[in-house]
Structure 1
């Protein structure tokens, strides 16, 4: 789906019960982190992996924990407006948001303590565009 308005209305946000941590991969942690990662990104400074909090803790890697909210609409990678609407609605309520786009869905990572409020914000956003 490419139409922004339709994507927002149909996003059907779903909260993942697990918590996630963004971590920097090092040579000694690469096998465990990359094997458990749901996403990675290579930057000039290194490789970031998004891994279950439990995996990061087992390796002694500190950091904030995030809840993942998956937007269940099959969004088009060339669609316009969904990311802006989601991040904007969350920003208006003071909730930090890290968006990750994958082939079928977009995912909003929010601080775990804000997960329920963020889910409600996104449900209300979708309902307001129907």
Structure 2
């Protein structure tokens, strides 16, 4: 097995997925007033050509009269994942996809975060824990 693949198994094996509290929605806007009023409470932002994408709490979106039809929960993958690491995001999104769970991956400096439909968060946690367990057998050297 190539060393890069082994590194991916080690990251997946060492991850501890943690379901975070709260419901969030993805929104996008070019409206400067809306950006100003929402950005301080956004948990993530990304500037795109079409506008500023933000992840904000559902309550804030409702208060701002924004669409809340697709509430998300997020799972933090508590594992050191280098910004140069290969394979963690692909393995997580593939495992969730194989189980019919849409996901949006957000990589931050310290951790990767997985946003899943709120109704499927428990199932997503089960999938991630199973993935971690399966990777564990490949990450440990044969002894």
| CA deviations over 1:8-51 (Å, ceiling 9, x no partner) | 00110000121111111322212221010111011111100111
Runs of 4 or more consecutive aligned structure 1 residues displaced over 4 Å after TM superposition: none
Q: Which residue of 2 aligns with 1:66?
A: 72
Within 1, Cα distance between the matches of 2:79 and 2:66? 33
Is the strand fraction higher in 1 or 2?
Answer: 1
Q: Which residue of 1 aligns with 2:55?
A: 50
Gaps of 5+ in 2: 137-143
CA RMSD of aligned residues (A): 1.1
Offset of residue 90 of structure 1: 0.2
What is the TM-score normalised by the length of structure 2?
Answer: 0.87
The alignment status of 1:21 with 2:25, answered yes or no, reads yes
What is the TM-score normalised by the length of structure 1?
Answer: 0.95
Q: Which residue of 2 aligns with 1:81?
A: 87
Gaps of 5+ in 1: none
CA contact (8 A) 2:96 2:103 kept: yes
| Comparing 83-92 and 54-63, the one that deviates more | 54-63
Offset of residue 89 of structure 1: 0.3
Q: Which residue of 2 aligns with 1:127?
A: 133
Larger Rg, first or second structure (1 or 2): 2
Q: Which residue of 1 aligns with 2:117?
A: 111
